[in-house]
């Protein structure tokens, strides 16, 4: 199941998008005390990059909104890697639960 979309709105410019409220793990996010909005998903992306793929750090930027997660940049490969990481969490409730619990135990605060 692919929830995220990688677009090329301009030649060489890429956007990775996720419509907030459309993931199978939204109820788990709510149980954990969070709102599954774009800002929350940006936090998920930050945690995934810092803990699982630090080589992605600085290769794209985030521009979330309440209704949508967005990461963008010129490095299509980096955004494809982020897409794969996020899809695994967005479709697996236990994986999401572990990610949030572990991140909060380390002091990470989700901005939702």
Domains of the chain: 5-99 (3.30.1360)
Q: What is the pLDDT of residues 53-105, one digit of tens each?
A: 999 999 999 999 999 999 999 999 999 999 999 999 999 999 999 999 999 99
Name the pLDDT band for 2 (thresholds 50, 70, 90). low
Token pair 């494809």 is found at 80
Cα–Cα distance for residue pair 65/40, rounded to 1 Å:
10
- Comparing 2-11, 27-36, 94-103, which segment has the lowest mean pLDDT? 2-11
pTM here?
Answer: 0.94
Q: What is the pLDDT of residue 3?
A: 86
Contact by Cβ (8 Å): 12, 83: no
Name the pLDDT band for 36 (thresholds 50, 70, 90). very high
Q: What is the pLDDT of residue 100?
A: 97
C-alpha distances (whole Å) from 27 to each of 10, 11, 32, 78, 98 are 35, 37, 9, 29, 15
Q: What is the pLDDT of residue 112?
A: 85
């Amino acid at each position: 199941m692919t929830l995220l979309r990688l677009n090329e709105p301009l030649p060489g410019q890429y956007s990775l998008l996720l419509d907030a409220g459309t993931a199978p793990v939204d109820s788990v996010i709510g149980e954990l005390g969070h709102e599954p909005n774009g800002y929350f998903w940006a936090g998920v992306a930050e945690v995934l990059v810092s803990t699982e793929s630090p080589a992605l750090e600085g290769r794209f930027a985030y521009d979330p909104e309440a209704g949508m997660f967005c990461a963008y940049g010129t490095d299509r490969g980096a955004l494809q890697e982020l897409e794969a990481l996020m899809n695994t969490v967005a479709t697996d409730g236990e994986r999401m639960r572990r990610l949030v619990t572990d991140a909060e135990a380390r002091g990470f605060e989700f901005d939702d």
